[in-house]
Structure 1
């Protein structure tokens, strides 16, 4: 398959994730949409690495996946703590996290 197909899928997935981040109000859905955006970037990195025949893009994609896993763990911990404290879980109403 040509690289254009991989990049088209990557662009579509990234656009879906960006639209979800902009329109959703639930923090869990925002985190899922951020993961979609990171996975779209990973797909583009891996497709470019495959096109050039090198392994650097795949290693970088692995590093991005590790950072994404850490981000989800921290974000999920914050959301669970907010649910336990019965704080409003609407992203627009979360003023508690501002310095």
Structure 2
């Protein structure tokens, strides 16, 4: 397997996600761009695991490290953890965006006040 194609695809997806995070104003689209970046990382993890397995075909396996005789798919396991992290990020991010929309009726990222202003409280 040539690992160059998935690596380049992952890099392009990650670059598109970074562009989406930096250029989008809508908070939902920013969350979608973050998801695109996390999926690119998943693609890289699984590809790296497959590439390392392909290169280690004749290597002696340590008996204490792998009791069942063969190593686990660590790239897939890490990708599963990234998927769980992405699900939690979407849940918390959407809850924050929905609460902000209920308060302000807009979800533009550049209009979010990041500090507490005393003048707005007194109004």
Structure showing greater radius of gyration is: 2
Q: Distance in 2 between matches of 1:89 and 1:28?
A: 8
- Structure 2 gaps, min length 5: 54-71, 117-123
Alpha-carbon distance, 1:86 to partner: 2.7
Q: Which residue pairs with 2:38 in the alignment? A: 38
Q: Distance in 1 between matches of 2:104 and 2:11?
A: 37
- Pairwise CA RMSD of aligned residues? 1.4
Q: 2:87 matched to 1:69? A: yes
The answer on whether the counterparts of 1:88 and 1:94 sit within 8 Å (CA) in structure 2 is no
SS at match of 1:85: helix
Alpha-carbon distance, 1:87 to partner: 4.5
Moved over 3 A (4+): none
The answer on whether the counterparts of 1:46 and 1:57 sit within 8 Å (CA) in structure 2 is yes
Aligned length: 98
TM-score, normalization: structure 1?
Answer: 0.91
